[in-house]
Structure 1
Amino acid sequence: MSIRKILVPLKGGAQDKVVLGAAARVAKQLGGQLTGLFVRPDPTEALPYMGDGVSGQVIEQLLDAAKEGADAASARASAHLHEAAKAAGLEVVKAGGPLPSARFYDVTGRQDVVISEESRLADLVVFAEGEQGGDQFGGDALEAAVMNAGRPVLIAPQDGFAEKLGGTVVIGWDGSVQASHAVSAALAFLQAAEKIVILCIGEDEIEPERGARLKDYLGLHDVKAELRLVDRKDRSTGQALLEEAGALDAGLLVMGAYSHSRLRELLIGGVTRHVRGHASIPVLMAH
């Protein structure tokens, strides 16, 4: 799968620089377009909740203040995109334009809804760690992209993305539909990598046939991979996956997202939830 449109939700904060740096390097090396998306809330949606006692003048002042705040955040997000584009040698375009390039959108609406809608026509959606110190990369917006829009997402930790797409890529493989979608979405990254390791994690003796079938499939795409069967022992699957990827000095982890329901992940945890809360390397996931 070629990667041409790389959608990056922006908030106008410091974390924009992390996610834009990662997305700009992907766009540069894969010949895509970095599309920065700033979603400003619609202040008029709050009007029904203000009550009858609020005067028109107060409402007007509140709307003006909201617009000023959104304008300032949008301007910062746009400036961050221009800085990242310049550093990566990307031309910033209004529409269309040559590849690789970058462009900026400013849209009004509810963030998760807008991101879900815009993600449907993107090849990859990139998220950074939350600015508020939350325990999940991307928050509701990431779930909207990966679940509602069905698009692959890339989470970029504080340390950013490797300067080159080469190096080691680890595939967390369990034979699920979600993992197969992630592999398809990651083919451009796999073809640019120096080393690919398929990790099958389980307990005691692990059946190698499933991983061997993926290895054969990748070979048809001129992607050479090695297979490793890992006993997770007393670790959770998510913990084992991150630890093994770290031991291999991986620059990217590829995995399926939400093989179990989001409710189950919320109540008892799961691989996706663990990885989103503890990843220290870039992770590409798909549902």
Structure 2
Amino acid sequence: MSVRKILVPLAGRTEDDEVLATALSVARGFGAQLVGLFARPDPTEALPYLGDGVSGQVIEDLMQAAREGADQASRRVKTALERIATEAGVAVAQKGGEPVLPSVRFLDVTGRRDDVVAAHSRLSDLIVFGEGTTGVAGGTALEAAMMSAGRPVLIAPKKAWDPVGGSVCIGWDESAEAARAVTAAIPFLEKAKKVTILCIGGKELDPAPGSTLADYLELHGVVADLHLVDAAGRAAGEVLLEQAEKAKTDLLVMGGYSHSRLLEFIIGGATQHVRSHATIPVLMAH
């Protein structure tokens, strides 16, 4: 297992610098290429919503303003990407040039953001998202990458993280989603100095599932400690974050959306809680 391509969807905001710094630290650690992706809105998609009474000149003015706004955002993304690469001494890959690792590359693609992110996620090893502006890390683009494209995602909150994965906690509940997250995280786990398996439940929590995971990880050369945590009636996501933060972890590994997105949205769930409250990097898979 290896990490060779890390996709980072960017929007040209000031928050891009922090998520880029975190993603670049991961790319350098694995000798990977960081691809900064700017999804350029197609102004023609807004035409059906303008109504029949809007004049041709108004439509042209609106489309031109949209194009200019996208051009400015794209330039900000490209500039930020090149600046952080220069500061880190990492090569900027050129189209058609010889592949160099680690490196950074810039992509400007026109289309709906979720569709563009999903399409380019399919052939990426990891997709990195910052907090964004909605209060839920990654927004719908994260769901597109994780659920539509089936790829692992890394939430990089609050600040620039370096390193990512020196100390790793795994939230283990035996679900298929958690198992996919663990296998996706193997490159991190193999390099980690400390790995902790967290099983959240009641007072009579069975240690067997956690021990089975520890045995699996040992085959990959990873020695993990097992902690059984009584949630005492509290939500699993809340307890999981609390335990990971208490352990001074710099990567939490967990399954995402073991329940449907609609159910999580209505009644809450571990995934939604972690996406909204994480203060440490989180690797999720569905």
TM-score scaled to structure 2, two decimals?
A: 0.97
Structure 2 equivalent of residue 79 of structure 1: 79
Structure 2 equivalent of residue 119 of structure 1: 121
Match of 1:97 among 96, 99, 111: 99
| C-alpha distance after superposition, 1:14-73 (max 9, x if no partner) | 111111111101000111100000001100111122222222222111111111100000
CA distance in 2, matches of 1:263, 1:50: 31
CA distance in 2, matches of 1:165, 1:277: 20
CA distance in 1, matches of 2:281, 2:32: 18
Does the Cα contact within 8 Å between 2:35 and 2:104 map onto a contact in 1? yes
Structure 1 equivalent of residue 135 of structure 2: 135
SS at match of 1:217: helix
User: In structure 1, what residue type is equivalent to 2:28?
Assistant: K
Structure 1 equivalent of residue 109 of structure 2: 107
The answer as to 2:6 corresponding to 1:6 is: yes
Structure 2 equivalent of residue 241 of structure 1: 240
RMSD over aligned Cα, in angstroms? 1.1
CA distance in 2, matches of 1:186, 1:87: 28
1:166 CA displacement: 5.1
Structure 1 equivalent of residue 37 of structure 2: 37
Does the Cα contact within 8 Å between 2:19 and 2:159 map onto a contact in 1? no
CA distance in 2, matches of 1:259, 1:88: 38
Query: Identity over the aligned pairs, expressed in percent?
Result: 58
CA distance in 2, matches of 1:217, 1:232: 25
SS at match of 2:136: coil
Structure 1 equivalent of residue 279 of structure 2: 280
Does the Cα contact within 8 Å between 2:200 and 2:229 map onto a contact in 1? yes
CA distance in 2, matches of 1:224, 1:216: 9
| Range with greater deviation from structure 2 (147-156 or 41-50) | 41-50
Unpaired segments ≥5 residues, structure 2: none
Structure 2 equivalent of residue 148 of structure 1: 148
SS at match of 2:135: coil
CA distance in 2, matches of 1:257, 1:53: 46
Structure 1 equivalent of residue 66 of structure 2: 66
User: In structure 2, what residue type is equivalent to 1:113?
Assistant: D
Give the aligned length.
Answer: 284
Does the Cα contact within 8 Å between 1:28 and 1:88 map onto a contact in 2? no
| Range with greater deviation from structure 2 (95-104 or 193-202) | 95-104
CA distance in 1, matches of 2:38, 2:85: 16
Does the Cα contact within 8 Å between 1:116 and 1:144 map onto a contact in 2? yes
TM-score scaled to structure 1, two decimals?
A: 0.96
SS at match of 1:129: coil
The answer as to 2:229 corresponding to 1:230 is: yes
Q: Which runs of 4+ in 1 moved over 6 A?
A: none
SS at match of 1:145: helix
CA distance in 2, matches of 1:237, 1:184: 22
1:166 to 1:280, Cα distance in 2 relative to 1, 3 A: closer
User: In structure 2, what residue type is equivalent to 1:108?
Assistant: T
User: In structure 2, what residue type is equivalent to 1:91?
Assistant: A
